Amino acid sequence: MDRRPLPPLSRLPAFEAAARHESFTAAAGELGLSQTAVTKQIAALEADLGVRLFERRNRAVFLTEAGRAFGRVIGAALADISAETVRLRGGEAAGGLVLHCQLCEAFYWLMPRLSRFHERHPGVEVRVVSALSPLTEAPEPFDVAMQTTGRPSGSARLVFTASDEVFPVAAPGLLSPASLPLSVEAMARQPLLSHQVLPQDWMDWPDWFAAVGQALPRGARITGFDSFPLVLQAAVAGQGVALGWRNTVSGLVSEGKLVKVCAESVFRPAEISVFRGTRRGNHAETDALLTWLREELTGSESG
């Protein structure tokens, strides 16, 4: 009998967790091991395969292309084993699809549209898991995920990207309608509302001003918030001008709760990334959800 060329199976859980989190520390915490133990297991796996799975830079680790591909395979395999184990033990695996989505997109973009998916696929259950953190910190496996491009995604497989557009918005009562659209210079004299986090995974005011060919004025008044939904609620309440992403704020604009402040906007051709996860779900249902998301996001591009 031919012996299959498998690596030592005891090393795979540490690798899968490290690939999913893109962090040896997070993997160690999840598995109840020391970081040293995780590091040694992955180093031994790399030696066995003869391939580097991670790059080590500045006390952080990043998946190589080989590591990302291997992580997807191992993640899917371990998810299948886990689901089958639950079944054999007499348990029942959770049904439906898990859609991991950034909180703001979940609240302002996804939820007003999700009924369209249910109308087309009435038998498919979708459980939305919203989060402020990137995919590498997802609390549970998912079938599909969407987040801002460039945020850490671990071993999740990128399916497609979609464009977005960023422009300043404010409550209608903040500015005189006759003054709109404001020049960029005049807009900069208004209170500016900012979503400030570390690392800054998405566009903020200095980036936006640079993209339209101007520098952020030195005396600009900026108020920071730790979540984008709070920024939008502050803008709706008339506290200042916020950066609005078209996909997120289009509903608030059409309802008259926000208005575009100036004519300038910044087009982002690949602002949103949509991923397939490693959770063992119905492949046809997952494909249906991915197709629907692509259609909705593409429609938003022209909307």
Question: Three-state DSSP class for 192?
Answer: strand
Would the pLDDT of 138 be above 90? no
pLDDT, residue 95, reads 66
- Cβ 135 vs Cβ 99: under 8 Å: no
Would the pLDDT of 108 be above 50? yes
Distances (CA, A) of 12 to 32, 44, 69, 100, 222: 15, 11, 14, 24, 47
Q: How large is the average pLDDT for residues 224-244?
A: 94
In whole angstroms, give the CA distance from residue 145 to residue 40. 31
Would the pLDDT of 104 be above 50? yes
Q: Which helix (H) or strand (E) holds 127?
A: strand 126-131
Q: Over the stretch 23-69, which tens digit does the pLDDT of each residue have?
A: 999 889 888 889 999 999 999 999 999 999 999 888 788 999 999 99
pLDDT, residue 3, reads 61
Would the pLDDT of 93 be above 70? no
Q: In degrees rounded to 5, what are phi and psi of residue 119?
A: -65, -35
Rounded mean pLDDT of the chain?
89
Distances (CA, A) of 53 to 5, 41, 44, 74, 204: 18, 12, 11, 13, 33
Which structural domains are found in the chain, ordered by start? 9-88 (1.10.10.10), 96-303 (3.40.190.290)
pLDDT, residue 294, reads 96
| Whole-angstrom Cα Rg for the chain | 22
Q: What is the rounded end-to-end Cα distance, in angstroms, of the chain?
A: 60
pLDDT, residue 144, reads 95
Among 135, 141, 173, 157, smallest CA distance to 279 is for 141
pLDDT, residue 241, reads 97
Q: Which residue has the tokens 């990043």?
A: 62
Would the pLDDT of 92 be above 60? no
Q: How large is the average pLDDT for residues 238-247?
A: 96
pLDDT, residue 276, reads 92
Would the pLDDT of 86 be above 90? no
Burial class (CB in 10 A: 0-12, 13-18, 19+), 139: exposed
pLDDT, residue 1, reads 42
Q: What residues contact residue 50 under an 8 Å CB cut-off, 6+ apart? A: none
Q: How large is the average pLDDT for residues 210-214?
A: 95
pLDDT band at 281 (very low <50, low <70, confident <90, very high): low
Long-range contacts of 81-84 (CB under 8 A, 24+ apart): 82/280, 83/280
Would the pLDDT of 204 be above 60? yes
pLDDT, residue 302, reads 46
pLDDT band at 303 (very low <50, low <70, confident <90, very high): very low
Distances (CA, A) of 245 to 14, 131, 195, 253, 266: 38, 18, 12, 11, 10
